[in-house]
Amino acid sequence: MADITRYDPFREMDEMMRGLVFRPVRVPEPRIQQIKVDATEDDKAYRITAEIPGVRKEDIKVSVVDNEVTISAEVKSQSEKKEGERVVHSERYYGAVSRSFTLPQAVDEEGAQAKYENGVLTLTLPKRNNARFRKIIVT
């Protein structure tokens, strides 16, 4: 007995067109970097170092509320490739990165210091001696 197969008129066309169709070229998007943070402490203060390369210090914002620290930055990147006076390729990227974390003890916001140099943000956050602490009795 003969095998019965269904005729597909587009199958031959698909096979023929496979070699002719151009696939779009993918240009990888700049990847938003996560802010990498190291935290150390001594008896008086926390020291935070955060890697934020390629950002101007004017575009970095740090906020401290009690024991919660938030670091955010606006990232801008632009590249342009020229051949003589003619621009051959140009890319721009704008975005924002942010990182929040909680420290074990409240921070004295008034004595906090920040320094940004060579893509590394260094925070010195003194511990608050009179931390807000309330004991709740369960009845």
Delimit the domains of the chain by residue range. Answer: 30-126
The CATH class of 30-126 is: mainly beta
114: Cα within 13 Å, side-chain hemisphere? 17
pLDDT (0 to 100) of residue 79: 78
Q: Is 66 left (phi over 0), alpha (psi -120 to 50) or beta?
A: left
Residues in the chain: 139
Q: What is the pLDDT of residue 25?
A: 55
* pLDDT in the model for residue 55: 87
- What pLDDT score does 139 carry? 46
Contact at 8 Å (CB) between 87 and 80?
Answer: yes
Q: What is the pLDDT of residue 14?
A: 66
pLDDT at residue 67, as a whole number:
87
Task: Give average pLDDT by consecutive 10-residue segment, the chain, 139 residues.
Answer: 67 64 54 80 93 89 90 84 80 85 88 92 88 58
pTM (two decimals): 0.63
